[in-house]
Chains A and B, each alone.
Chain A
Amino acid sequence: MPIGPFKPAPPSDDKRWKIVAGTMRRHGETPNALIETLHTVQETFGFIDKDALRFVAGSLRVPLSKAYGVATFYHHFQMKPKGEHTCVICTGTACYIKGVPELLAVMRDEFGISPGETTADNRVSLLTARCVGACGLAPVAVVDGDVMGKLTASQLRERVGRCVRDDAA
């Protein structure tokens, strides 16, 4: 007889792992639950690190290579922690037509970050989204959950500038 199903222990005694374990249990701890579980990890911890991936892969009996393959295939899953503030610029068609390139230029020239990057002081992360569904208000950015529509380059400069300075004091 092979050794019975081996259940890895959570990476730490952080209570949040219970939430992750709960998702896996609800889905019967089968490989099918991989994506749902990664969603839970990201929701609870903000990103998916190697320890989390190992724990999830082990618990669902998915090869670690496959879990890594899935986690990196989907844009939504973040493998690195985000900065204190996040700025999501919509790069959907409606927003693009209405001037996203200028907004991205502000982020690059004034704050030194391109999509997917975080400022060196860890203050602001820049992400992009393919249509946040507010095309009527294009161009749109979402700064710390706050949707900003009909956004101009100077408004963005001002708003992100506040994120950078606020906590600097």
Chain B
Amino acid sequence: MTQLEDLQRIASEETERRQGCRHRLCVCIAAGCVSSHSDQVQASLTNEVKRRGLEGQVEVRPVGCMGLCSAGPLVQEETSGVLYQHVRQEDAAEILDSLDAKPVERLRCDSGQPFFRRQQKIVLENSGVINPHRIEDYIAAGGYEALVQALTSMKPMEVVEEVIRSGLRGRGGGGYPTGLKWSTVAKAGGDKKYVVCNADEGDPGAFMDRAVLESDPHRVLEGMAIAGYATGADMGYVYIRAEYPLAIAHLRTAIRQAKKMDLLGNSICGTRFNFDVELRLGAGAFVCGEETALIASIEGGRGQPRPRPPYPAQSGLWGKSTLINNVETFANIAPIIRRGGDWFASIGTAKSKGTKVFALAGKIRNTGLIEVPMGVTLREIVFDIGGGIPGGHRFKAVQTGGPSGGCIPEQHLDMPVDYDSLREIGSIMGSGGMIVIDETSSMVDVAKYFMEFCMSESCGKCIPCRVGTHHMHGLLEKILEGHASAADVAQLEALCDMVMHTSLCGLGITAPNPVLSTLRHFRGEYEGLLQPAGGNGHASPSPAGGA
């Protein structure tokens, strides 16, 4: 049985243990840094500490993502805050030598640069700080307090109200008000309900959810358990893509640890609340991120969507009322319960509250993971935090929302980033992938890239999406090869309109977005590729040109 006092005892033991160590070296072991061999760095630092007999004085702690993936492997000395980049295993001795002396200048990474300074962390507050393999680390950072608080001093409806008050909107892309969804499920009848965490992260160029799960898995489990209590569900599933082996491993460990401490399972914290969590692995199908397809996949079938309504909140897994939220959405829950909905609502803009995690990549100096308050401008993200475009190239556009999103050109860089502003200019917030494109890329090619993606990921159930994406892809190829005329562009636009309005699920409905947004902002690039058919080769204005 775990009570608030137990958590506090674990937390203070943990703090004491840590303070026993004079120096604490944090090594990023999330997938980004592991790809540049941070596991070897961790091993050689640990060996070097052992060799020098410094155990108990110097802690080498594996931690989650520190954000600046392009400078990995990253190592940070916690007490002094000194950050090292591109560390190699050979550097271990030098780093240890430096602990009581001057930092190793050769490896220094400026931790005061705008990349770090301009961020505000809620979801990632523990990323790069705690050891994701240890539940004690999470508890020492205030973990599971919110769950115990909800279970022992709040009624389920009060939890829902707190989430409503926070103004949190779904981070999976749609931006649906989370509190509203919770209250629908809470009010739904039935003997059994489910909570599902959508960790399918299908946008090809986004890794926010992966980083959260690798860096701080307990935070997501805690959010799910609180959701279970608030809605009356006793079973949760995390649907996670098989391509994320590290995140899967960390989650498995976390579930085991939480069960052992009665923070998951039966009679959580000695109350009558039961909540169990199991993993279900995706198998490489983008459409399975769509909630009804995801449900079909958990049930063991082909991941094909079905028409809504009924929404999963009414009839989901095995026909029962089911709450589906994204990883990042759940990751926001514990802080909201701990610090109150009003606190959360004080961050961000009028209609988009809190922060958003973005995966910054493409032609940009600082690639990696960032968390910023809603409402910052794209310019701040690209030029201050991201450090601008490398190689003396010119900024051309930033792509948000992946295959369902659009490209935002330079003239909109000063627009605040929130759900509604992005939609207004023909893109979407999406789940948080942000790809910067410079003048060397053709926007028509970018549109073709996403269309190729949608074409091969279409599940084939409805004809507009299955056949429409194929034809649009063909037309884009024809344009790129220089064989197309203005009539082809007109046909492309007509197809966009048709697929958007007649497809069954979000995949088809949004598949034309990358084409429409590039046509809207970079029409000249399309026209430059056309054959001068008869007259002057100008494409005729089409009714489908708008957002």
In this complex, how many residues of chain A approach chain B with their Cβ under 8 Å: the count is: 39
Cross-chain contact B433 with A39 (CB below 8 angstroms): no
Cross-chain contact A132 with B243 (CB below 8 angstroms): yes
Cross-chain contact B210 with A133 (CB below 8 angstroms): yes
- A130 neighbours in B (Cβ, 8 Å): 202, 204, 243, 284, 286, 453
A70 at the interface (CB under 8 A from B): yes
Cross-chain contact B303 with A73 (CB below 8 angstroms): yes
B359 at the interface (CB under 8 A from A): yes
The residue that A75 contacts in the complex, of B203, B285, B298, B368, with Cβ under 8 A, is: B285
Chain B residue nearest to A72 in the complex (CB): B302
Report A26 CB to chain B, min CB distance, Å. 10
The residue that A97 contacts in the complex, of B283, B285, B363, B368, with Cβ under 8 A, is: B363
Cross-chain contact A33 with B300 (CB below 8 angstroms): yes
Cross-chain contact A93 with B435 (CB below 8 angstroms): yes
Interface string of A125-148 (1 = CB under 8 A from B): 000011111111110100000010
Chain A residue nearest to B69 in the complex (CB): A136
Count CB-based A-B contacts (< 8 Å): 129
Cross-chain contact A76 with B441 (CB below 8 angstroms): no
Report B330 CB to chain A, min CB distance, Å. 19
With contact pairs A136-B32, A137-B36 given, residues A131 and B205 touching in the complex (Cβ less than 8 Å): yes
Chain A residues 142 to 169 lying within 8 A of chain B, measured CB to CB, are 147, 149
With contact pairs A39-B242, A39-B283, A70-B300 given, residues A93 and B402 touching in the complex (Cβ less than 8 Å): yes
Cross-chain contact B32 with A137 (CB below 8 angstroms): yes
A33 vs B224: C-alpha distance in the bound complex, in angstroms?
Answer: 23
Cross-chain contact A135 with B207 (CB below 8 angstroms): yes
With contact pairs A92-B204, A133-B210, A135-B361 given, residues A149 and B36 touching in the complex (Cβ less than 8 Å): yes
Question: Could you list 13 examples of A-B contacts with CB < 8 Å?
Answer: A38-B283, A39-B283, A73-B302, A92-B204, A93-B204, A93-B399, A93-B450, A94-B367, A131-B204, A136-B32, A136-B70, A136-B367, A147-B35
Task: Give 5 closest A-B pairs by Cβ, nearest first.
Answer: A93-B205, A136-B69, A74-B283, A76-B284, A94-B361
Q: Residues of A at under 8 Å CB distance from B?
A: 30-36, 38-39, 62, 66, 69-70, 73-77, 91-98, 129-138, 140, 147, 149
Q: Residues of B at under 8 Å CB distance from A?
A: 31-32, 34-36, 68-70, 72, 202-207, 210, 242-244, 280-286, 297-303, 359, 361-363, 367-368, 399, 402, 433, 435, 437, 441, 446, 449-450, 453, 459
